[in-house]
Structure 1
Amino acid sequence: MDWDKLRIFHAVADAGSLTHAGDQLHLSQSAVSRQIRGLEESLNATLFHRHARGLILTEQGELLFDATRAMVKRLDAATARIRDSEEEVFGELRVTTTIGFGTLWLAPRLPQLYDKYPDLKIDLMLEERVLDLPMREADVAIRMKEPSQADLIRKRLMSVHMRLYASSAYLEKYGTPQSIDDLPNHRLICQNPKSAQVGAGATLVSELMASEIPATLTVNNYFGVLQGVLHNLGIGVLPEYLVYDFPNLVRVLPEIESVEVPVFLAYPEELRHSQRIAAFRDFVQDEIFTYRKTLREQALS
């Protein structure tokens, strides 16, 4: 199949107009029209419905546009990797992490990364499933345990604990529990122990549930737990890093916390020299340094 014709077809399908596509490609409308006609003849298929208001893809055209869109995306990614240099940080970077960490810690800090590297295209994939980095399901991962896959560069970023938090408004209304024996008098907000989450969090929740707490709200991610706590529904099991961005959270029963949860950054060995990876790694490390420094200062004040 003629690559040049496919390139022109993609531009026309994307613009919805021969004229606009011609302007983008620096070709006349008649030249673009001839190329589209030639492609339709070679495929023995009609790719566009012609209307006075523009062009609409046929079913066959939609199929081809899906294919060219995937090709263009792959070519853009390949071009960015080839052009990656010490002077430039741009192109797509596919980042995977958990829903909780991604929504509550990483995403709010991304403006600082974009301020420094405005040409980056971050594809943030938030899910509990561990994506296969060596098979390039993602470029870089932040995980709540040490990666076990081979051929990965890994760096420990920090450790976190799961702890109990409530809003000051909730505690003013219902009182502050003084021991774990008081928990049955409160609503517990947490992830379901059977839902996908860090093992330390699931263990802590299971231990708390053993107190036979009559009123609970379970959510399948920490973002939902946080919303429940912020809206004064009860006492939530949440990661300690939230205190930095939500200073109104009040820790209750400070003697109760999960075991340590290590946080690792990992990426494939083959991306060792990628400037996009280096920029993202340095950004995350700088943000964590700031976070830890602020917590130390708060503890001393």
Structure 2
Amino acid sequence: MDWDKLRIFHAVADAGSLTHAGDALHLSQSAVSRQIRALEEALDTTLFHRHARGLILTEQGELLFDATASMVKRIDSATARIRDSEEEVFGELKVTTTHGFGVLWLAPRLTKLYEKYPDLKIDLMLEERVLDLPMREADVAIRMKEPSQADLIRKRLMSIRMRMYASPAYLEANGLPESLEDLSSHRLICQNPNSAQVLSGKALVQKLLTYDIRTGLTVNNYFGVLQAVIANLGIGVLPDYIIEDFPHVVRVLPDVESNEVPVFLAYPEELRHSKRVTAFRDFVQDEIFAHRRQLKAMGAD
């Protein structure tokens, strides 16, 4: 099938107008119209309904538009990778990580990355499930365990622990527990043990729930747990990396914590020389170093 005709069809479908598509392609309206008619004749179908307010895709047009959209995306991605590997840092980078780490740690720090690389576009995919990097569901992953997929470059960034925190206002109103048994007079806020989470965090929650805790709230991600803690609702089980950005929360029962949880950054071997991946990897490592210095200055373990 003629790619030029498909390219013009895609522009018309995207713009909803022969005129606007022609402007984008630097073609006359009549030239665009001829190409669309020729494509419809070649396919023996109607791709657009013509209305006074513009063009609307038919069912067959929708099917073709889905295909051309995928083709355009792949071509744009390939073009970006070629330029990216040879010249400057720009274009789309698909990054996947967990909801908690992505919302509470990574996203608030991305301003620094964009300041340095203003032409970079991050597609941040927050998923508890592990995306397939070799199959290019994502370019880079930050995960709370070492990736098991083959053909990946992986680097251990840091270790975290799940600990217990509460707001000063909550503790002033309800008292500071001095032992796990004291939790019976408090509200525990945590992820449901049946929700997707790291095994060490799940083990800590299961241990806490063996005590006679009067009331509780379960949320399926750490951002929800944090918001409930800030709202003075109870004592929350949270990853320790929140401390730098939320220094007002108070650690409760300092001797109670999960086992270490390793944090890994990984990407496919074929992206070893990608400037976008290198820029993102270096940015994350720099932020990890700054994070450690800040926690040390604050006296956190």
Distance 1:293 1:247 in 2: 14
Corresponding residue number in structure 2 for 1:208 = 208
Corresponding residue number in structure 1 for 2:82 = 82
Distance 2:105 2:163 in 1: 16
Q: CA deviation at 1:254?
A: 0.6
Q: Indicate whether 1:231 and 2:245 are aligned.
A: no
Corresponding residue number in structure 2 for 1:253 = 253
**Structure 1 residue runs without a partner (length 5+):** none
Deviations, residues 1-20 of structure 1 (Å, cap 9, x unaligned): 11100000111111111111
Aligned partner of 2:276: which letter?
A: R
**Which range moves more in the overlay, 20-29 or 49-58?**
49-58
Q: CA deviation at 1:284?
A: 0.4
Q: Note the 1:27-38 alignment, pairs <5 A.
A: 27-38=27-38
Q: What RMSD over aligned residues (CA atoms) do the two structures have, in Å?
A: 1.2
Corresponding residue number in structure 1 for 2:111 = 111
SS of residue paired to 1:133: coil
Aligned partner of 1:136: which letter?
A: R
Deviations, residues 9-64 of structure 1 (Å, cap 9, x unaligned): 11111111111111111111100000011111111111111122211111111111
Deviations, residues 85-130 of structure 1 (Å, cap 9, x unaligned): 3540112211111111111111111121112112222121111111
Deviations, residues 187-218 of structure 1 (Å, cap 9, x unaligned): 00001112110011000001101112121111
Corresponding residue number in structure 2 for 1:292 = 292
Aligned partner of 2:18: which letter?
A: L
Contact 2:181 2:212 in 1 (8 A): no
Aligned partner of 1:180: which letter?
A: L
Q: CA deviation at 1:146?
A: 1.4
Q: Note the 1:110-149 alignment, pairs <5 A.
A: 110-149=110-149
> Structure 1 length normalisation: TM-score?
0.97
Corresponding residue number in structure 2 for 1:69 = 69
> Structure 2 length normalisation: TM-score?
0.97
Q: CA deviation at 1:136?
A: 2.0
C-alpha spacing 1:233/1:148, structure 2 compared with 1 (3 Å): same
Aligned partner of 1:146: which letter?
A: E
Q: CA deviation at 1:154?
A: 0.9
Q: CA deviation at 1:78?
A: 0.7
Identity of aligned residues (%): 78
Corresponding residue number in structure 2 for 1:10 = 10
Aligned partner of 1:191: which letter?
A: Q
Q: CA deviation at 1:135?
A: 2.3
Distance 1:128 1:278 in 2: 24
SS of residue paired to 1:244: coil
Corresponding residue number in structure 2 for 1:150 = 150
Q: CA deviation at 1:182?
A: 0.5
Distance 2:172 2:298 in 1: 23
